[in-house]
Chain A
Amino acid sequence: MYQMALRLLGGHERDAEEVVQEAWLRAAEGLRGFEWRSRLRTWLIGITVNCARELTRDPTRRRAERLDGRVCAASVPPEVPDPDLERAILALSPEARFVLILHDLEGYSHAEIAARLGIEEGTSRSRLSRGRARVRAALDAGEQEEEEA
């Protein structure tokens, strides 16, 4: 849950901690309503996504992310397995980042993402496409810099 929240929130540790705490509280409250047909992890991820989404929609937080988003994405620790890729994902806009993480890392379908985020499937597809293009461009730029150096 923590890794997921951290990525969704662009690497903001404090926000990720807030989201994980809130998600656990909601999970504890909602455990009685949990349908045992689905996997517990899927259910917990759903709650985490909801909490993260609510936080990113907060106008105060959105302003803060615009100001320090670059700093957060740049501060990916070197021990991360693929820091360039991690950094490129964290630097995406929240809209593209959510869809890319859910689709390409967590394996959600566009229909599931659309339902979870309250958007159209077509919107999910276009955000994914935009996100992938930006990640690819960031990786290419990084490789080019390395070659020039």
Chain B
Amino acid sequence: MNDLDTAWTPHERDRLDALPREREPPPALKARITDALRRQGTLTESSGARPSPPTASRWFLRAAATVGIFMAGALAGRITAPGGSPTDFVPSTGSALAPAERVQRTGSSYVESVADLVGALGSVPPETAGQGREVALSALRGAAEYVVRLPGHDPDVERLLVELRAAEGP
């Protein structure tokens, strides 16, 4: 008997396809994994609790740090996602992550931070929101300056860089 003899009927196949592929792990497990990663030295706790709901002033401080440090990513990003551990994490100073890994780690954090700022717009003074916008643009422009130097000509990125330079001024 081989697997072709026992192939699923379309109805059975539909039932299998409908089974969930993801399930939220117990909250205690997330906390245990975070602790274990910290003990392992992969994650180190950085600043205090994550704002919830976010405020632009807190975001501003966090974004200012993010521009310099470039943090989070696939692993930490999942752990610090909404509903996850209420702390920010950065790679431990001892780990020398490869540049491509760091780019992956930082991208989600940057986008998440800008989204936080947008979410806080209704509750902050315009000047604070303006400062946040400047930081977001600086980071975007800084990244674009380097992205255009990567292999693979991309006219869209070059156009974006020109626009960002113009928006930021001399």
Contact = CB atoms under 8 A, between A and B. Distances in A.
Interface of A: 1-4, 6, 13, 17, 20-21, 24-25, 27-29, 31-32, 34, 36, 40, 80-82, 85-86, 103-106, 110, 125-126, 128-130, 132-133, 136, 139
B18 A82 contact: yes
A24 B36 contact: yes
Contacts of A81: 18-20
B29 A133 contact: no
Majority-rule SS of A interface residues: helix
Contacts of B24: 2
Interface of B: 1-3, 5-8, 12, 15-16, 18-26, 29, 32-33, 36-37, 40, 42-43, 74-75, 97-98, 100-101
A3 B21 contact: yes
B64 to A, nearest CB: 27
A52 to B, nearest CB: 15
Shortest Cβ-Cβ A-B pairs, 4 listed? A3-B23, A2-B25, A28-B42, A132-B6
B101 A20 contact: no
